[in-house]
Amino acid sequence: MPKRAIKKWMPDPSKFKDHKSLAFLGDILHEPNLWHINRHGVARAFLVGLFFAMLPVPFQMVLAALVAVWINCNLPISVALCWITNPLTMPPIFYFNYWIGAKLMGKPPQDFDFELSLAWLSSKLVEIGIPLYFGSLVMAVFLGAGSYFLIQWLWRRKVRHDWRVRVEARIKRRQTG
């Protein structure tokens, strides 16, 4: 994995550790694995971040941060991945999740015109909400687990490649010198 590139974009942990408004967290932010970039921490951060990005719940970043601290994975990556669902990407992502949920439940996806009113929400909430949340949960598990295994595989592949290059360079140096 591009460890140097990831480190370049990572925030400085000391800024968060010394921040006055985060003092109530105590020593939680001093845990080195929350800021360290390694195969396991980054893979778990992708799992957490993409899982919560796919769920239509409020405070996705807070939930991702709490779970990241709980399972001891990279905190900034897990929180940043929640930004995949932003106001521009939410409608197509959540419609796709609704479509997946409706198909898996055996219901035909319904065409609906969105209205921002309490009457519309109360009448359509069960009709649209259950397939939406089911599809979102399916996609969250699929993307979270898939990204975890993909990161693990890519990281191992990169390490094996770098190892092979070093061995070949060592052999070449021995043959020439």
| CA–CA dist 48, 42 (Å, integer) | 10
State the pTM of this model: 0.79
Whether residue 1 is predicted with pLDDT greater than 60 in this model: the reply is: no
CA atoms within 13 A on the CB side of 162: 9
Whether residue 142 is predicted with pLDDT greater than 90 in this model: the reply is: yes
Whether residue 62 is predicted with pLDDT greater than 70 in this model: the reply is: yes
Whether residue 21 is predicted with pLDDT greater than 60 in this model: the reply is: no
Please tell me the total count of domains within the chain.
1
Give, in order, the Cα–Cα distances in Å from 174 to each of 113, 167, 168, 170, 171. 72, 11, 10, 6, 5
> C-alpha dihedral over 111, 117, 119, 123, to 10 degrees?
30
Whether residue 8 is predicted with pLDDT greater than 70 in this model: the reply is: no
Higher pLDDT, 14 or 128: 128
Q: Band the pLDDT of 2: cuts 50, 70, 90.
A: low
Among residues 13, 9, 8, 19, the alpha carbon closest in space to that of 83 is found at: 9
CA 39 to chain centre: 14
The domain containing residue 76 runs over which residues? 3-176
| CA–CA dist 86, 153 (Å, integer) | 28
Mean pLDDT of all residues belonging to the chain: 83
| CA–CA dist 18, 34 (Å, integer) | 15
The confidence score (pLDDT) of residue 91 equals 86
| CA–CA dist 69, 86 (Å, integer) | 23
Encoding tokens for residue 44? 């778990």
Q: DSSP label at 106? A: T
Q: Which of 5-14, 15-24, 76-85 has the lowest mean pLDDT?
A: 15-24
**CB of 173 within 8 A of CB of 16?**
no
